[in-house]
Structure 1
Amino acid sequence: MIKQLKFVSIPTRDQDAALAFWTEKMGFRVATDQPMGPGQRWIELSIPGAQTGIVLFTPEGQEDRVGTFFNGSFACDDVEYSYKQLSARGVEFEGPPEKQPWGTYAKFKDPDGNSFVLSSR
């Protein structure tokens, strides 16, 4: 039976720029980086302390997904702290963290313009 979600795909135009962003600014680690078809690589990244990872790959015909909203959320213990740390590394946020009844969140963007939620309880 299914045990977990192994990875989610983040569409990208420039795999090198995306790889630099997710490793250098976000702190993820390369699990796999290998050729996959003409001009593309399969880049799988692990998130320290998590079982789920991300893949920086855009399947042919899915290019219109680049620069859209990622339908998911990256969890952290403290959004305010993470916001300050990631902002200092050059991560672009849409605004400061906001508190809601369900928790605190902040939205950030990657170099391709994809938008993500960072949240905590």
Structure 2
Amino acid sequence: MIKAVKFVSIPTRDQDRALEFYTQALGFRVVTDQPFGEQRWIELRIPGADTGIVLFTPPGQEDRIGGFMNLSFASDDVQKTYDELSARGVEFVQPPKTEHWGTSAIFKDPDGNTFVLSSK
């Protein structure tokens, strides 16, 4: 039986720039960084989470870099996380907005991949 999502892949044009963003700005930690064909397999973990984030673009998928990602990050306090990440230089395209279902904000990485930051 399927038990969990092991990792999700985020496509990137520049793995070094992406690695710096995800570790320095977002606070993820490196689990694996090793050669993998013409790229590297860079797997990260969010502290306290089990799902991995992989900074890798499958060959032939370069046109999928940038734009809205079907991936949402959760936060206990979206406003506080927004304030902290903004102070670290993370670009938000939508500040925190509260709806009847919770609070969300939208940010993007250096490749233009856009993510929702949402309350749990």
Q: Normalising TM by the smaller chain, what interval?
A: over 0.9
Shift of 1:2: 1.2
TM-score, with normalisation over the residues of structure 1? 0.97
2:80 is matched with: 81
Paired residue for 1:112? 111
3-state DSSP of counterpart to 1:85: helix
- Tell me what 1:103 maps to: 102
How far did residue 18 of structure 1 move? 0.2
Please give the TM-score of this superposition, normalised by the length of structure 2.
Answer: 0.97
Structure 1 residue runs of 4+, over 4 Å off? Answer: none
Amino acid of the residue matched to residue 78 of structure 2? V
TM-superposed deviation, 1:96: 1.4
Q: CA deviation at 1:73?
A: 0.6
Quote the sequence identity (%): 72
Deviations 1:53-111 (A, max 9, x none): 10000001100110121112100100000000000000000131001111100000000
Task: Find the aligned partners of 1:118 and 1:95 in 2 and give their Cα distance.
Answer: 10
Could you tell me how far 1:51 is from its partner in structure 2? 0.7
Partner of 1:68: 67
CA distance in 2, matches of 1:88, 1:95: 15
In 2, Cα distance between equivalents of 1:100 and 1:9: 29
The aligned residue for residue 9 of structure 1 is 9
Secondary structure in 1 matching 2:9: strand
**Partner letter of residue 11 of structure 1?**
P
SS at the partner of 2:89?
coil
Q: Distance in 1 between matches of 2:46 and 2:5?
A: 13
What is the DSSP-based 3-state SS (H/G/I as helix, E as strand, rest coil) of the residue aligned with 1:23?
helix
State the shift of 1:32 in Å.
0.3
**Counterpart Cα distance in 1 of 2:77 and 2:52:** 20
Query: Of Structure 1 and Structure 2, which has the larger fraction of its residues in strand?
Result: 2
| Secondary structure of the corresponding residue to residue 95 of structure 2 | coil
Superposed CA offset, 1:1-29 (max 9, x none) = 11110110000000000000000000000
Aligned residues: 120
